[in-house]
Structure 1
Amino acid sequence: MFSHEDQVTAWNHNETLTYIDEPRLFISDDVRAIIIVINYCVIGVVINTFGIITNIINLIVFSKMELKDTVTISLFGLTLSDMCSLLTLLWSGICYNPLFRSSDIAIESFEVEYITAGAPHVCFTRITGLITAYITIERSLCIALPLKVKSLLTPKRTVVIVTLIFVFNIANVIPAFTVDNLEYKYYPSRNRSLIGLVFQVYREKVETYCFASSNFLCYVTFLIVVTCTAVLVFKLNNQRKWRQESSSLGNAVALVTKDKKVVKMVIIISGIFIVCYFPMTVVFMGTIAVSEFGLVGRYENLYHVICSAGYAIESINSCVSVFIYTKMSSKYKRVIMNFRLRRTTESNEKAIAN
């Protein structure tokens, strides 16, 4: 099992920082190891693998739909971010796997995971959050300013906005790779040299900036999603009442039905996002409030256990989109049905030919 001695050994140039072993509260090292293996290597691997497959399907479907309208462009960017996020979590599950860790591969998988999976995952979750926020803003404007939104948020501008979201967040995480380097170093507990983390002297300042900006984006994203969803529901309810009073019965029913679909889709997407990302948002707030609650400290075992469960819940957000789109989007459903019909026709033609 993983022991506390196997934690990240911090190096400052050529000198090893002395690690002070303090008693861990609430959760022992052995219990932590078991829970992490279950969450990352069993539950996480299953969810992430399924999610990667469904997001590949989403990318194919959206490309078939042609990226000509703002909604499809935004959902394509969201799907791409979700898939990248799931790939990083899948790699985390591999790194935490005891079989992989005990293999002859010359890497300290815990340390390698921190910089090759942990940092990129945070980056892509922020991208997912910002694109979700953009979608809710766009939908809110469609209701609040129906005559102006098409000129404000054109497909070209949406492409630029989604691209900038990716570029900004990737640029924001790059400094972490300049202070956390992967190099060979000796591990006394394993009696061999492995590729692990080597920290630079200015690491603390750089990671403090990255951590602060990441948390800021997290909180702002939540606020935007919740606020815009509330505004959207309020505006739609008001317009629905007005249309029912001023339109013919048939038209009113049609419009109300259409409005309900928009409301349901936005509420489902934003609701699942809020529920799935809420645990890790609370964890990040906890690391600020309690100094010993983090990667290293008296509550580190509790921190890692909660994170392993939080990331498993977080990955669900990136897996269920295929069901939402199939249920709520007639265009998405039509592409899926056409694809199935084409495959069935090809199979029948091959069978007849044989």
Structure 2
Amino acid sequence: MATNNSIDGGVEKFIHHQILSDELYPYLKSLFCILSLMFSVPAVCFNAINILIFCTIGVTDSITVCFLYLAVFDFCTMVCLSVGAFFTLFSLGVPGSHNLGTYTFVTAVAHSTFSDMALATTTYIALQRGLCVAWPFLTRHAFTRNRTLAVLIAITVILLGSGLPRAVTFRFKYIPDPNNNGSQIAVVHFFESFSTSVSFYLIFVKLFMGFTQYVVMSVCAVVIYIGMRSSIRLKSASSSAGSNSYNARSYHGRAERCVKPIGQKNTENDVTDIKTETKKDTGKKPSRKELLVIKQALTVVLLQVICTTPAIIIYIFNMIEPRFRMNTEYHNLYVVIYGAADWSYTVNAFFNFFIYLNFNSKFKTCFNSLFACGKHMGLEKMTVTSRD
């Protein structure tokens, strides 16, 4: 079925879409735009809250720096994606707004750049936590706040420099609408350097760096999980051994202090000693704060890995199948699948807020303090400076 897909210089180009029909294409495109907006708009608000809370807590350690950077990049990504989804829906449903669909190309370029930065930041979090779990004594002082800040700034500069040639290789060109002489159609006009810039961006940033970061995150997630489970078992075994040894040594002494002559009651000091030793008998459990930090990083990394998987598959298929691109044989399928990948990005940015709220006690305390949630939910009032 031949369809009028694009206009270049006033000349109509007819392209065959063999997989996804033109009748079904706008419905699927609208569906993924709506799904993206359902997550991206709340994600904008949630990441704004994330930025506010992390700034309020204070950037005192490397992991907080990483989460603050991730919140900033997710916020920018969700803003660009929300604007692009709104433009796309308006161009499909509102008469006379067909040019809005073309303008989404700008938001798509910005969204792609910011999502690359978010992916790189999550990769650094995975690498940092993975090394700290695997070699805690060697890497304990390696990831300081200033070093982490320097690394993240360097990542930002590199990705901006890699994407800049691609961002300046096009402009909007307005041509007469063949169906309406009184209006014009905006088309994306690419310069001669477009092919080289896009090829470099797709191969180096999207495919090579993206796939490398994906592998690093996956490996580090496994290392973090194994290390966390091993740490829990080791500390539990040590605590149990220490508790049994202490019980054997102290049982006889406690019994002697507890048994008093007839008519003589236990003094207050005796009762205090008994309570203290009873607490010691339970053994020291693994640090809850330490486990929560590891679980928080692990959950963030796993969510990023899951939500990045569709995009990685798309990039690989895009490189090996030249027909799976814009204004080619599989144009409709290309746009719809990329819409699905964008939706997976919104899911990732949406749930990070709840991960912080569940695993980060400082984040939860600050959130309750700023929004007075503790008072309305019947929680105990806490301050931002409280400790676990």
TM range (shorter): 0.7 to 0.9
- Per the alignment, residue 285 of structure 2 pairs with 253
2:118 and 2:286 map into 1 onto residues whose CA distance is: 33
Give SS of 1:181's match: strand
Give 1:266's match in structure 2, choosing from 277, 289, 297: 297
1:87 Cα deviation after fit? 1.0
TM-score by length of 1: 0.85
Residues 174-183 or 74-83, more deviating: 174-183
Give SS of 1:253's match: coil
CA contact under 8 A between 2:10 and 2:178: conserved in structure 1? no
Which ranges of structure 2 fall in alignment gaps of 5 or more residues?
244-281, 377-388
Name the structure, 1 or 2, with higher relative contact order (CA <8 Å, separation 6+): 1
Give 2:132's match in structure 1, choosing from 142, 155, 162: 142
- Per the alignment, residue 247 of structure 2 pairs with none
1:265 Cα deviation after fit? 2.0
- Per the alignment, residue 317 of structure 2 pairs with 286
Aligned residues: 333
2:179 and 2:63 map into 1 onto residues whose CA distance is: 53
2:226 partner amino acid: F
Give SS of 2:137's match: coil
CA contact under 8 A between 1:179 and 1:203: conserved in structure 2? yes
1:194 Cα deviation after fit? 4.2
Residues 265-274 or 328-337, more deviating: 265-274
Q: Does 1:161 align with 2:151?
A: yes
1:131 and 1:100 map into 2 onto residues whose CA distance is: 35
Residues 81-90 or 208-217, more deviating: 208-217
Q: Does 1:63 align with 2:55?
A: yes
1:25 partner amino acid: Q
Give 1:197's match in structure 2, choosing from 188, 196, 214: 188
CA contact under 8 A between 1:95 and 1:109: conserved in structure 2? yes
CA contact under 8 A between 2:69 and 2:121: conserved in structure 1? yes
Give SS of 2:187's match: strand
Residues 165-174 or 91-100, more deviating: 91-100
- Per the alignment, residue 20 of structure 2 pairs with 27
1:232 partner amino acid: I
Change (3 A) 1:103 1:18: closer
List structure 1 segments (4+ residues) > 6 angstroms apart after TM superposition.
342-345
Q: Does 1:239 align with 2:231?
A: yes
Change (3 A) 1:194 1:138: same
1:251 and 1:125 map into 2 onto residues whose CA distance is: 46
1:196 Cα deviation after fit? 3.2
2:157 and 2:188 map into 1 onto residues whose CA distance is: 26
- Per the alignment, residue 13 of structure 1 pairs with none
Residues 334-343 or 82-91, more deviating: 334-343
TM-score by length of 2: 0.78
CA contact under 8 A between 2:174 and 2:184: conserved in structure 1? yes
- Per the alignment, residue 209 of structure 1 pairs with 200
Residues 144-153 or 292-301, more deviating: 144-153
- Per the alignment, residue 277 of structure 1 pairs with 308
User: Equivalent residues in 2 for 1:99-110 (5 A)?
Assistant: 102=94, 108-110=99-101
Change (3 A) 1:95 1:341: closer
1:229 and 1:237 map into 2 onto residues whose CA distance is: 12
CA contact under 8 A between 2:311 and 2:341: conserved in structure 1? yes
1:53 Cα deviation after fit? 0.7
